[in-house]
A and B are shown apart, each in its own frame.
Chain A
Amino acid sequence: MLGIIRTIWMTFLHMFHRNETVQYPDVKPYLSPRYRGRIVLTRDPGGEERCVACNLCAAACPVDCISLQKGEREGRWYPEFFQINFSRCIFCGFCEEACPTYAIQLTPDFEMSEYVRQNLVYEKEDLLISGPGKVHDYSFYNVSGLKIPGKNKGEAENEAKPVDIHALMP
């Protein structure tokens, strides 16, 4: 009996508590930069696509929402198409962790509803952004040993000259 009255009283006291609700469309909540929202493909500082079509993201994806096809252009790999099916995506961020080149990144944006379900399949043009995303000065080809036009073997950052296996000198 006393418990019931106490419950009523305590519920009554909630009249004087602050509202917890955020008036969402009018007041946007703060989302941190590492929030896991819409997925984008970034470019390196030179403006080239970072994605090297290694398929690691597609392999890491637990719901298999990523599909891509490797293509090759002047020694550089790039995805011929890159689709993310956002109606399947669970925004777990595994693709971002799997990516060796910081190409695929999750952004603090979640307002991506569509009236037609097909429109939730994003193509490469929809995914690519013009900037480097969260990692500003990383370019995979600048640090990797791969030879591309304009950069020979051993010319990358922190890379030793290739060893000449035919030479006798140490």
Chain B
Amino acid sequence: MNIVLELYGLIAIGATALAITRTIPVHGLLYLVVSLLALACMFDELGAPFAAMLEIIVYAGAIIVLFVFVVMMINLGQPDQLREKGWFAGGAWIGPGVIAALLMGLLVYGTQRSTMAVGTAGTPIGPQQVGLTLYGPYILTVELSSFLLLAGLVSAYHIGRRIGGKS
């Protein structure tokens, strides 16, 4: 029934693996975009088109573009690639591998125990329901994240101010 969903999942996993192993940062970021798009497709397949679109707009369309922007600005060259190649050798894998395996185990354990219904129930959840839920039961979260955004805005304004008078 859900071959499409599993296909998206495989694409996401493969793209993420490639994103980790690329030595050229921009290529890695591109694979990350592919992974995020696959994730968005999975959301849509599971009946959450609003979340899928937000995933594309916010992550793929804005955040990763900023990553690419920064990578472009700092102008990485050949020496950085060689250094990155060195990181893949030998023991550098062990620490992240163990932590990722732990996380994976926890996730599997959690999903096994969870009693919540897993999507694919049929009716897609439209933006209206999402909005009602956000501003109903989850209003506190929304307000807290708005604090966070305000703090980000203020600090960005503080960093971006003109130093030394003369506007």
Q: Do A and B have CB atoms closer than 8 angstroms in the complex?
A: no
A residues with a Cβ closer than 8 A to B are: none
B residues with a Cβ closer than 8 A to A are: none
